[in-house]
Structure 1
């Protein structure tokens, strides 16, 4: 009886020691055989079916089975050779002169200055960027699906290719082309510095062009999307088919603070 009692603890000790030393091997083989999780796909991945957002006061136009189909629709306009020729010749100086007047007004009321770093969203061939540089805002760049060096680099406004808090000023007249307006706005607020200014030209009283992805019922839906910013002003403009200017300042400071 005593012999059996002495053997049992020894067996338990051997078992415990063997289990202890085998744990690293078990973990090693487990890690080797565990599949690596795939990268989480974003809503702008081209293969994901489009999920139409429900935003009060903003009607998203249907007809895009995937994000790739939406991008191709936008590229149909941006890459149109006839339109690009018009933008870079007949319309070049005319649009620049109009934008110069817009930006001079913003500078007169202290919403932009020569030290500002500026981004033009959906700039196509960069008339807005050229206008900013002519009024003295030399640190200016544009983004569009098709680059136009040196004024415009390639970029998707649903996923801007810039770090957080990069710009003092952002301008866009392509809000109506956003398939995901909330992402469009979040990217602006992400890349604006605290106190930075965003100016949008939008169509409220009229229907925007056939390449647009959304239609606005008014200014209020846009104001609600800019939850991290304060509304500075709203006024009527004549901006190449767009009739309303909406200006926001990101919360947290002022330019130059």
Structure 2
């Protein structure tokens, strides 16, 4: 399983992904799920992947190959004129990879399924964030839906919905994401650290800080312990249910 979150702020974009993959309890591995492409001063693109590992690796490899100069190649993610066109290119690539991997007649929601989050900025356009489905279609984040999740989404969603604020700082947003990831890790053993984090500040057209947060990182340990204690304190502060009271 996987857990990835793409978060839009007034200040820019944050992408965070876990690195655990598993094909059973006795076959757990670590793979990167957060990828970037950039031309400093011209464009920055960031992508996260969830789903079948062979499918997602093939998509990333194809996108990488197309950035290399040679004749008769397919369009490159480093050449498309807008983030919308970048999303279309990635969506088409994902759909084609699934079709090539799947058996005849097999649907896109088969074992070859994958879902992607693509975000970034191309010079002359705004920061944009897209959720790309295995069928090759996609939706865009906006004021009403300012973040996307893929993978094991349900455990980490409540804190995002309650605490997200578009004008929060990067530092506060990282704290929010770590609480969301900690909640997911506690509830699902198929999601786990280390976590990859990539920041992008609007208008800079260059990649921001890129971090890998390990399970034993002091700050993550402080967040995990502090959040658990805060939840217990909040629960204790609420009145107990009165079994004798009439409904």
Fold shared, TM-score > 0.5 on shorter chain: no
- Higher relative contact order at CA 8 Å, sep ≥6: structure 1 or structure 2? 2
Higher relative strand content? 2
Q: TM-score, normalised by structure 1?
A: 0.26
Higher relative helix content? 1
